[in-house]
Structure 1
Amino acid sequence: MTDLVEEVAADVFFARGDDVNWVLLRDGKDVTVVDTGYPGYRDRFLRSITAIGSTPQRVAAVLITHAHIDHIGSADHLAHAYGTPVYTDAVEVRHAHRDYLEQASPVDVARNLVRPGTVRWLSRVMRAGVLSRKGAPTAQPFPTEDELDLPGRPRPVPTRGHTSGHVAYHLAAARAVITGDELVTGHAVLAGTGPAVLPAYFNHGDSAPALARLEELDADVILPGHGAVVRLPIREAVARATAQR
């Protein structure tokens, strides 16, 4: 469609920022947004909605995979401007409200500056708002743990590891899964591309149970929080990611 938005399945759109992705699910003019990018991505995030023929006013809900600033940058903007509900896992709600913060510390990042690509990545994300400690105070728990009555019919799948309340979203009709940061396919601090787990200093729990939960899904289109779309059975993607750990 555009350099910003790619239709990867019927009415399922993958939007890529410089360093993080988000997903839009369309039903007519109505849209579900999954994650929203950095605060500095506001303009391109809003443009991604109009690029698929909708408007910010027609966003039915924002779903959050986890409450790191690169995934919630415009969530509260939609909530305050248009009354858009913002949903995430009940555990992650407390993280979104900043009752606590699970995020790589400046010391963690400094210790890893020798990784190729890290300095350039850090320069970009500093401009995009990575140092913001602002959460998403409007976030609330899902109204149901089953398939949500929203465009795209996403089903939350608890995948707790990257953060304590991280959640993926299964799109049964599209045989797709939005994996957030539990399973990525690229990142500036990783040496290569393809299914992978982020370095340990980015994670705040054991990713093994979360990956096992992803393996159970009927999906062969992987929509990660970082990296490109991968068309691969999720079980194979998890095996590849695990082998690289």
Structure 2
Amino acid sequence: MQLSPGLHRIGDDIVAAHLIVADDGITLVDAALPGYHRDLLRELERIGRPVTDIRGIVLTHGDSDHIGFAERLRTELGIPVFVGAADADRAKGAKPPATPPDPKRLLPMLGFLLHAARKGMVRIPPLGEVRPVEGEQVLDLPGAPRIVPMPGHSPGSVAVHVPGVRAVFVGDELTTRNVLTGRVGPQPAPFTDDQATSSASLDLLRGLDVDWVIPGHGAPWRGGVDSLIASYRSAEAR
């Protein structure tokens, strides 16, 4: 699905990944779940671009529902997979730490688990090789994605700012649809390692001139960074 010129989404409000489509190639932001590989190929066919136009993958963090088909593309295409340095081991299969209990509602949680199972959650191959990213930098990939470290959800979580499509991808530093409760709107994401640090990291987004703030779960946000953070803080205070 095209969100705007050069910005495409695969997946849905439960789990999603995104394509930055440029004349010199394509950058993939996150890789969802393995079953989304078919959705990726369908979207590429729809826009008339071969899978070999993908030049690299940028992960917002190393959790399993974001590395989905990354290893498949890495080995088939010989492309790099970038991830925040502190999440490199996680993306390569290291078990993340236990997180505090999150609120749950039975039906939304079961819906997420069933959807994830259908899309291959139980057979996600870890990355065999990654390129760790330290600090803030611009990657040599289509769209010139800029990495902004945003620890909290995980130690190596990053935002991916792509000025050319006026978007910033924030992974699970927040969500606009909680997969465990079904609640919609900007709010803290479940399965977060350090919620206080995650919340503080959101202020690093202030000042970005973007039309889109795009989480890994939930609908993209189009109301601007400041209004998103205000909505998040209101949800956080409840």
Q: Which TM bucket (shorter chain)?
A: 0.7 to 0.9
Structure 2: give runs of 5+ residues left out of the alignment: none
Find out whether 1:141 has 2:136 as its counterpart: no
Find out whether 1:45 has 2:40 as its counterpart: yes
Find out whether 1:68 has 2:63 as its counterpart: yes
Structure 1 residue 127: Cα displacement: 2.6
Q: Tell me the distance in 1 between the aligned counterparts of 2:206 and 2:155.
A: 19
Find out whether 1:7 has 2:9 as its counterpart: no
Q: C-alpha deviations, 1:172-195, integer Å up to 9, x for none?
A: 233321111112222332443222
Q: C-alpha deviations, 1:116-142, integer Å up to 9, x for none?
A: 411222222123233446421221124
Counterpart pick for 1:203 among 188, 192, 198 = 192
Contact 1:68 1:103 in 2 (8 A): no
Partner of 1:31: 26
Residue identity over aligned pairs, in percent, reads 30
Alignment root-mean-square deviation, CA: 2.4
Contact 2:152 2:198 in 1 (8 A): yes
Contact 2:135 2:148 in 1 (8 A): no
Contact 1:158 1:168 in 2 (8 A): yes
Q: Tell me the distance in 2 between the aligned counterparts of 1:29 and 1:187.
A: 36
Whichever residue aligns with residue 27 of structure 1, its letter is: A
Q: Tell me the distance in 1 between the aligned counterparts of 2:54 and 2:218.
A: 25
Q: Tell me the distance in 2 between the aligned counterparts of 1:18 and 1:225.
A: 8
Partner of 2:89: 94
Whichever residue aligns with residue 78 of structure 1, its letter is: L
Partner of 2:148: 157
Counterpart pick for 1:85 among 59, 65, 80 = 80
Q: C-alpha deviations, 1:151-174, integer Å up to 9, x for none?
A: 111101111111110111112233
Partner of 2:204: 213
Q: Tell me the distance in 2 between the aligned counterparts of 1:64 and 1:15.
A: 15
Structure 1 residue 219: Cα displacement: 2.2
Q: How does 1:180-199 map to 2 (within 5 A)?
A: 180-199=171-190
Counterpart pick for 1:239 among 218, 230, 235 = 230
Q: Equivalent residue of 2:44, what SS?
A: helix
Structure 1 residue 90: Cα displacement: 1.2
Structure 1 residue 34: Cα displacement: 0.4
Contact 1:37 1:45 in 2 (8 A): no
Structure 1: give runs of 5+ residues left out of the alignment: none
Q: Equivalent residue of 2:186, what SS?
A: coil
Q: Tell me the distance in 2 between the aligned counterparts of 1:64 and 1:124.
A: 21
Aligned length: 234
Whichever residue aligns with residue 12 of structure 1, its letter is: L
Contact 1:113 1:119 in 2 (8 A): no
Contact 2:8 2:20 in 1 (8 A): yes
Structure 1 residue 220: Cα displacement: 3.1
Contact 2:24 2:142 in 1 (8 A): no
